[in-house]
Amino acid sequence: GTPLRDLAAAKGKVIGTAVTGSKLTGTYGDIAGGQFNSLTPGNAMKWGSVEPTRGSFDWAEADQIVAFAQAHNQQVRGHTLVWHSQNPSWLTDGTWTTAELSGLLQDHITTEVTRYKGKLAAWDVVNEPFNEDGTYRSTLWYNGLGADYIAQALTWAHAADPSAKLYINDYNVEGVNAKSTALYNLVKSLKARGVPIDGVGLQAHLILGQVPGTLQQNIQRFADLGVDVAVTELDIRMQLPSDSTELAQQAADYKAVLDACVAVTRCHGVTVWGFTDSDSWIPDVFSGYGAATPYDENYAPKPAYDAIAASLGGG
């Protein structure tokens, strides 16, 4: 059939996948390069990956993924500049004054965004800032710098690469709920202040049969604020072993997510968080769950793959 990336391009959408740099050869590389028009490094651009020792940088995997994307005419989503997780231990174990912490964050953002200036379509600048009830998550950044760390991070990122679209990314914000409403109110106030915010990322780590009924409405309300929306980390997990009924339900769920994005002009596209069940975080974190991606562990397309194609107008 027609590759997903060609179907998506014909609709003006992006279909992406998270990737692991060391796997980008053979069949994995063929699918990553052939089916998708956007890549997100799953881990390679996180602070703990790029600066494991203070002042000593390792850009190898991130550079490799960007080069692969350029060779395959793909966009790259940078992921992620400011998070509470996967930070280097020298940072999290240190004791910092407010000024030191602010300086460290500014330097980190400036260094990394400058390195890839002009090469990335978008950055997930701030990742997972909210609790489920819509209050700010207690993190190194919130506790040390206050809620305005978000505006500062966006401002620093924009100064380093004015052409990259800057996003705030979170999970459990796919439907209309307390957490997505907090994100909505934040984006509204950032826009009112003139802070550079271009989009929101809905991670969409979903459970079989539980696509929120308000997904499209939620995407639309962000679009109506004047920002783009991207589904950034889609996967749909189920209890193992999977059977054909569950795989059919999963296909319907994938189609519902793609359909919602296709229906809203300002929805930039959908990225899956790993395209194969052999490269998915789910079994490591949710014991007994898996089969969350559109290809099985042997790179055979599942019904979910056909559902994505169908939503993008494929046969």
The helix (H) or strand (E) run that includes residue 193 is: helix 178-193
Which candidate in 128, 174, 233, 246 is catalytic? 233
Beta bridge partners of 15: 270
Known catalytic membership, residue 132: no
Contact 58, 49 (CB under 8 A): yes
> Distance between CA 145 and CA 103 in Å, rounded?
11
Cα dihedral sign for 187, 77, 137, 216?
positive
Exposure on the CB side of residue 276, measured as CA atoms within 13 A: 18
Nearer to ligand G3I among residue 3 and residue 283 (C-beta): 283
Nearer to ligand G3I among residue 128 and residue 253 (C-beta): 128
Nearer to ligand G3I among residue 86 and residue 239 (C-beta): 86
Q: How far is the CB of 215 from ligand G3I (least distance, A)?
A: 18
Tell me the residue nearest to ligand G3I as measured from the CB: 281
Q: How far is the CB of 233 from ligand G3I (least distance, A)?
A: 5
Cα dihedral sign for 126, 38, 42, 172?
positive
Nearer to ligand G3I among residue 269 and residue 314 (C-beta): 269
Q: Please provide the distance, in angstroms rounded to a whole number, between the alpha carbons at the two ends of the chain.
A: 8
Nearer to ligand G3I among residue 233 and residue 253 (C-beta): 233
Question: Mind giving me the DSSP string for 157-176?
Answer: HHHH-TTSEEEEEESS-SSS
Q: How far is the CB of 1 from ligand G3I (least distance, A)?
A: 28
Q: How far is the CB of 150 from ligand G3I (least distance, A)?
A: 16
Binding residues for ligand G3I (CB under 6 A):
42-43, 85-86, 127, 203, 233, 281
Q: How far is the CB of 81 from ligand G3I (least distance, A)?
A: 12
Nearest Cα residue to 59 out of 104, 113, 23: 113
Other beta carbons within 10 angstroms of residue 249's beta carbon come to: 18
Catalytic residues: 233
